[in-house]
Chains A and B, each alone.
Chain A
Amino acid sequence: MPDHRSYQDPFYGWTTPKAISLCVQTLKECSALPFEVIQKMIALSETQILNEQTSTSMLDILWKIAKKYSISIDQVMLIFNGFVHVLRLALKPPAAFLKPDIFKDDLRDLKFSEQIIGEFHNILFGTKRDQLYLAIQERDRPRLPSLQTFDWNLDVTLTTASLSRCIEPLLLFQFRTSDNRNLTFEVSIKKFNELRYKTALILKEMEDVDGKQALKLLET
């Protein structure tokens, strides 16, 4: 069985990232820190990735840890930063790519203790695995505004100021986009049909994307 190192690069890259080496070094310096605290910090880093909590509340928790165990906030930050880094790098390759054993081996190469390696393994392959991957893929990229709510109104115009007998359907759309734009507009039946046709066309094209030859290279 060839060593995985011969066919797969470590998930953290070709050289040990500075943030991680500093983390390991600081962990050695703070050897008095009980494992539960380290566990807590690893869990915090998972939360950090999932929720993008404002840095102030994270900072509060880290300050408390620093005070309780009388280590400087700098050291706490270095350790925490390293943990977050490990998780981000682990989430970078496609999900099926990084097998548990390879992940653990790579972590050993980084000189983390077995206990810590166990913790990381539980997080990456645990219950929140899909959420983590989704957060990294969807949130941490530039994107155009998306449609948050789409309300519509179908009215029938019976009479107007200009026509005593009318009977025309009237469509009103209200879009709210993720960049807080509220748009209310009329859609004529003709335009509505065009919109519906275009959407169906795009959906079909999207389904076909999976079959395209060139994109088969991206099979993960």
Chain B
Amino acid sequence: MSNSIFSDGSSKIKACVSHINSLNEIKFKKLLQRIAEKTGRQNETIFTLDELNKLESAFEISADNIKQMIETLEYMFLQSAYHLVKPQVLLNDLVNEQNFDENKHVLYKAKLVVEQWSSSAKEIVERLKSTHIASHSLSDVRWTLDVGISQASKSKVKRPTAIYEFQLKNDQTQEIEKVQTEFNKEELYAFFEKLESIQSQLDALMT
């Protein structure tokens, strides 16, 4: 048990393995797909309450047990992502350490998990990589270029002005804060120079 990737949660898994082993394979596969799609998303539950009830009748297992099973499977995916495990390692772990049935027919279940992991691993890791820490992140930038031609204090001007709207999304509440700013030519050049210096730092990082 101590060699397993899942050493932290082995008691959780122990409780569910018998349920997992008793499930119908096709339904199990669909369940896995759905869980893999949603693993690692912030602020989203994998199944709504309605869906949980439907699953209860489909699998003929109590809602609590289903919830536990889903959590366990999600936990397995998250842990695999944390350690970036190779599929074969995962397979061995599931069969040898976690007591997924070794019966050839049901060995299939462990294999299903591993197959799902192989196909979704990249996506899950990318999703986990891009989770935000700061309260706001830049979701969009809109702009217009206007030319001022007249104003109260001056009869004739030619003043190109760039107007930016930065849209900042709050990850917790999904609210978008809009920030509008104006740049004249010099200010825009200065802004661009700063962006260029950031880019050169990024390039230095990549080499």
Contact = CB atoms under 8 A, between A and B. Distances in A.
Contacts of A91: 153-154
Interface residues on A, range: 35 or more
B163 interface: yes
Contacts of B135: 184-185
B158 A164 contact: no
Nearest to B39: A162
Given A181-B179, A196-B199, 11 more contacts: A93-B154, A94-B155, A144-B163, A144-B181, A150-B194, A165-B84, A185-B137, A191-B141, A206-B145, A209-B160, A218-B157
Interface in B108-151: 125, 128-139, 141, 143, 145, 147-149, 151
A215 interface: yes
Main secondary structure of the interface of A (DSSP, over half): mixed
Contact of A185 (B125, B136, B185, B202): B136
Contact of B191 (A137, A150, A170, A184): A150
Main secondary structure of the interface of B (DSSP, over half): mixed
Nearest to B158: A218
A144 B182 contact: yes
Interface residues of B, number: 60
Closest 3 interchain pairs by CB? A185-B136, A144-B182, A140-B153
Given A154-B205, A206-B162, A184 B199 contact: no
A183 B155 contact: no
A93 B157 CA distance: 9
A185 B134 contact: yes
B137 A188 contact: yes
B58 interface: no
A169 B202 CA distance: 8
Nearest to B196: A196
Interface string B52-88: 0000000000000000000000000010011110000
Nearest to A171: B198
A52 to B, nearest CB: 12
A187 interface: yes
A122 interface: no
Interface of A: 88, 91-94, 97, 136-138, 140-141, 143-147, 150, 152, 154, 156-157, 160, 162-166, 168-173, 175, 177, 181, 183-189, 191-192, 194-196, 198-200, 202-203, 205-206, 209, 215, 218, 220
B151 A215 contact: no
A187 B167 CA distance: 11
Given A147-B187, A218-B149, A152 B138 contact: no
Interface in B150-207: 151-160, 162-163, 166, 168, 177, 179-185, 187-189, 191-192, 194-196, 198-199, 201-202, 205
B199 A186 contact: no
Contacts of B201: 154
A195 B166 CA distance: 10
A209 B201 CA distance: 32
